[in-house]
């Protein structure tokens, strides 16, 4: 709940007062007929699940150009050619894994749309080094063209649901 800012030096017309329950007396007094609904980030639940029958296109050039600074050392300072050599096998492996187990993909909300996140294991099979971003670009095609740190991915994913996957930890 927010309340009106009565301060002489107003930075904002309102300030945060408290998190309240739906049964809070002040909330009911002021908003009983107009309590906001929970946020809704998607219209089609199919957007939240990876479809293994769809085509997956990897734009490795864009992935390196866009995300190289997010890669773990020493890849973030390696040449693009060295990074490409390292990525090819890891990308092939995660595409095979997610086609066999769609539950590896975790939905995230970013820039007004749903995307899926996949673990990218570059050095260790147990811990994801990065999260690949999966965009749906047509009726039956995904594209992988960027990646996020796992911290960035966790922040975006928790807008929709609390991530419970073992690979996406805060």
One pLDDT digit (tens) per residue for the chain, 170 residues: 888 888 777 788 888 889 888 889 988 888 877 887 777 767 788 888 999 999 999 999 999 999 999 999 999 999 999 999 999 999 999 999 999 999 899 999 888 889 999 999 999 888 899 999 999 999 899 999 999 999 999 888 876 666 655 677 66
The architecture of the domain spanning 45-157 is 2-Layer Sandwich (3.30)
For the entire predicted model, the pTM comes to 0.75
115 vs 46: CA distance, rounded Å = 11
Query: What is the residue extent of each domain of the chain?
Result: 2-31, 45-157
Spacing of C-alpha 57 from chain mean position: 19
Beta-bridge partner residues of 134: 116, 144
């Amino acid at each position: 709940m927010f309340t009106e800012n009565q301060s002489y030096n107003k930075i904002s017309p309102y300030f945060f007062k408290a998190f309240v329950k739906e049964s809070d007396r002040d909330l009911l007094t002021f908003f009983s007929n107009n309590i906001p609904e929970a946020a809704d980030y998607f219209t089609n639940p199919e957007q939240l699940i990876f479809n293994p029958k769809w085509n997956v296109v990897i734009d490795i050039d864009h992935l390196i150009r866009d995300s190289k600074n997010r890669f773990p050392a020493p890849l973030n300072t390696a040449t693009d050619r060295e990074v490409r050599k390292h990525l090819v096998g890891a990308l092939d492996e995660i595409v095979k894994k997610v086609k066999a187990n769609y539950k590896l993909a975790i939905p995230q909300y970013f820039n007004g749309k749903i995307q899926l996140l996949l673990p990218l294991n570059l050095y260790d099979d147990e811990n994801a080094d990065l999260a690949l971003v999966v965009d749906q670009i047509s009726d039956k095609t995904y594209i992988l063209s960027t990646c996020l740190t796992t911290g960035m991915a966790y922040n975006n994913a928790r807008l929709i649901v609390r991530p419970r996957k073992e690979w996406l930890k805060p």
